[in-house]
Amino acid sequence: MSSPSAVNLPLSEVRRAAHDVHTASRRLARVPALAAALGHLDAAAGALLLAEHALQGYAVSTRPPPQSSTVDTAVPVTWWTARIAVLTGVHPSPVPAPDLLDDALARAQDGDRDGLAAVLAGADPTDGLGLAARTAPYVQHYADRAERPSAALDTVRELLPGLPPGVAEAVLAGTPDGPWDGHPADRAVAGTVLLAGLLSLLGHKGLPGD
């Protein structure tokens, strides 16, 4: 069995794919299929980056690598919860949610930052990262129907005071930066809260049909 340091993850292929989708999305603005594809790439690249980081950290903890490593410790088990705390400004007590997206949207539409943080923190990191792909087509769909979709950014600013500048704006535009440029959780969480803001602007409570 190969050692963790010998594992080659397809990060370069994901980067190239994301670059191609970004280029296409700039040329064909606001195409839902491209937004969904980009969301899937965000989640995939984020998961790969975390896996690579964890593998490097594990290799360092078991034996010194022959070359310098980009990390010196393994990714902590609570990395997802820790990032939720940074984004929301709340140190949550994780709460399991039957449906992560629906429950997170409900808390966000209620303006319940503590509840939102608790629901997000209670999610498995894989499910949390998957919110980027789940919300991307909805964001584009409802942004096209809102008279002033940028007003939904007020919800993001209120509930995610720790979100880096420009992330939510990029998600709303449908052309977010590559996931390796920031924390992989940021776009997933921003997309969820942005969707909540758009739904509220349109007078919907939750996703229609749920």
Give the 3-state DSSP-derived string for 42-53, with helices as H, strands as E and coil as C. Answer: HHHHHHHHHHHH
- Chain mean pLDDT for the chain: 78
Task: State mean pLDDT over 77-99.
Answer: 89
Residue 134 has pLDDT above 50, yes or no: yes
Say how many CA atoms lie within 13 Å of 123 toward its Cβ: 25
- Per the CB < 8 A criterion, the answer to whether 10 and 48 are in contact is yes
pLDDT of residue 77: 47
pLDDT of residue 64: 53
pLDDT of residue 150: 95
Q: In this structure, what are the phi and psi dihedrals at residue 90, rounded to the nearest 5 degrees?
A: -120, 140
52 vs 77, which has greater pLDDT? 52
For the stretch 140-170, pLDDT in tens is 999 999 999 999 999 999 999 999 999 999 9
In 3D, which of 134, 90, 137, 142 has the Cα closest to residue 116? Answer: 90
Q: For the chain, how far is it from start to end, CA to CA, in angstroms?
A: 46
pLDDT of residue 135: 94
- Torsion from C-alpha of 180, 124, 91, 72, nearest 10 degrees: -50
34 vs 208, which has greater pLDDT? 208
Query: Which three-class secondary structure string do you get for 149-193?
Result: HHHHHHHHHHHCCCCCCCHHHHHHHCCCCCHHHCCHHHHHHHHHH
For the stretch 9-41, pLDDT in tens is 555 665 566 556 555 555 554 555 555 666 666
Where do we find the tokens 């440029």?
181
Q: pLDDT band at 4, cuts 50/70/90?
A: very low
Q: pLDDT band at 183, cuts 50/70/90?
A: confident
For the entire predicted model, the pTM comes to 0.69
Residues in the chain: 210
